[in-house]
């Protein structure tokens, strides 16, 4: 199989965490990786058996996505996308500027046949159950109803491929379970989803269903999806911090933490977004995984593992078959 292209410069803690995750993946999974980045960073990696591609520029986290991709033609991000376009890499991973990663993939790969708009599919961990896939979680702030049907089709393939869910249950995010509840977009999209025989549409779902075992794929506009995602991220972090603050308070606090922590570690592991490695941009003609800016080496490792598995399973062909006109 072709190697995978890694944007070594992308992420809050790049390049160190990216390199560490890549080393682990190379060793444990035996995958071929092309390390793309500034020469002084990637140069030394050749001696470790990595393929390397030296580039002169870096897209920064705060750069404007569209213009930085046009302007910084020799950036690690743009070069990663070109490797995929030129069939020299099977896919790309970046933990850098999300908008720029999306823009470079869209610009260089192009879209899959019939796909109107690519969408970002994000994985929400569910305690004790299969994760929920939410899309779009940020690629398109404003959407039209027919795009949501394609998101549903692509999200179903993703849930099936990544989490092994047979006939994933698809819901549209709304503010009431009954048909007819929701904003104008939801009311318009509902009958289109209902008529689509390529998905297992179960109707409206509410915010409280996202982190539950009642649903596998949730479709919504990218504004709402991104807000749901970040609300969950923020509240989980706030709650986890508050719990440990409370457990650790008082004279016997340390003792209580000492007995509680080992019990809670498996749950923290289960809910750790790094366990899933990143979000996938679905609908472009190549594999593009966008990892969180604060990704750990574990996240990079998992993003690599997922990318290779998806490539191996022919995800692009399956997505193409799944998307109707």
Q: Point out which residues bind a copy of itself (CB under 8 A).
A: 126-128, 138, 141-142, 173-175, 182-184, 186, 206-212, 221-224, 226-239, 241-243, 245-247, 249-250, 252-253, 255-256, 259-260, 263-264, 266-267, 271
Q: Which is nearer to a copy of itself, 160 or 224 (CB)?
A: 224
Question: Which candidate, 17, 107, 25, places its Cα nearest to that of 67?
Answer: 107
Peptide bond preceding 15 in cis form (omega within 30 of 0): yes
* Closer of 79 and 292 to a copy of itself (Cβ): 292
Q: Which two tokens stand for residue 34?
A: 């092309």
Can you count the helices (H) and strands (E) in the chain?
12, 11
In angstroms, give the least distance from the CB of 238 to a copy of itself.
5
Least spacing, CB of residue 255 vs a copy of itself, in Å: 8
Q: Which of 94, 86, 85, 96 is nearest to 35 (CA)?
A: 94
Residue 46 vs 267, nearer CB to a copy of itself: 267
d(CA 115, CA 319): 10
At its nearest, how many Å lie between a copy of itself and the CB of residue 209?
Answer: 7
Q: Judge whether 299 and 278 are in contact, CB under 8 Å.
A: yes
Nearer to a copy of itself, 106 or 323 (CB): 106
Cβ at position 254, least distance to a copy of itself in Å: 12
Alpha-carbon dihedral angle through residues 316, 321, 323, 325, given to the nearest 10 degrees? 130
Those residues whose C-beta lies under 8 Å from the C-beta of residue 93, and which sit 6 or more positions away, are 4, 5, 6, 7, 80, 278, 288, 289, 290, 291, 300, 303, 304, 307
Residue 97 or 302: the one with the smaller Cβ distance to a copy of itself is: 97
- Least distance (Å) between residue 190 CB and a copy of itself: 13
Q: Measured from the CB of residue 293, what is the shortest distance to a copy of itself in angstroms?
A: 13
Closer to a copy of itself by CB, 210 or 280: give it.
Answer: 210
């Amino acid at each position: 199989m072709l190697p995978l292209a890694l944007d070594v410069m992308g992420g809050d803690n790049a390049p160190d965490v990216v390199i560490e995750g890549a080393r682990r993946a190379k060793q444990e999974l035996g995958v071929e990786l092309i390390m793309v980045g500034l020469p002084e960073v990637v140069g030394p990696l050749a001696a470790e058996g990595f393929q390397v591609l030296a580039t002169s520029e870096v897209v920064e986290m705060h750069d404007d996505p569209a213009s930085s991709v046009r302007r910084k033609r020799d950036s690690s991000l743009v070069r990663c996308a070109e490797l995929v376009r030129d069939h020299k890499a099977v896919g790309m991973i970046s933990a850098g500027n999300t908008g720029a990663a999306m823009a470079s993939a869209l610009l260089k790969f192009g879209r899959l046949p019939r796909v109107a708009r690519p969408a970002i599919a994000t994985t929400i961990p569910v305690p004790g159950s299969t994760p929920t896939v939410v899309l779009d979680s940020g690629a398109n702030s404003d959407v039209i109803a027919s795009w949501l049907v394609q998101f549903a089709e692509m999200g179903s393939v993703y849930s099936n491929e990544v989490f092994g869910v047979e006939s994933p249950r698809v819901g549209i995010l709304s503010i009431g379970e009954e048909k007819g509840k929701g904003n104008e977009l939801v009311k318009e999209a509902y009958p289109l989803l209902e008529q689509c025989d390529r998905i297992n549409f179960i109707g409206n779902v509410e915010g409280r269903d996202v982190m539950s075992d009642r649903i596998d794929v949730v479709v919504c506009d990218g504004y709402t999806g991104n807000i749901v995602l970040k609300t969950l991220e923020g509240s989980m972090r706030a709650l986890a911090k508050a719990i440990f603050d409370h457990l650790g308070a008082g004279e016997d606090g340390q003792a209580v933490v000492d007995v509680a922590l080992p019990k809670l570690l498996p749950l923290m592991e289960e809910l750790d977004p790094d366990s899933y490695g990143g979000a996938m941009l679905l609908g472009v003609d190549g594999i593009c995984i966008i990892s969180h800016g604060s990704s750990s080496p574990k996240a990079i490792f998992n993003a690599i593992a997922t990318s290779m598995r998806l490539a191996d399973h022919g995800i692009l062909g399956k997505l193409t078959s799944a998307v109707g006109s």
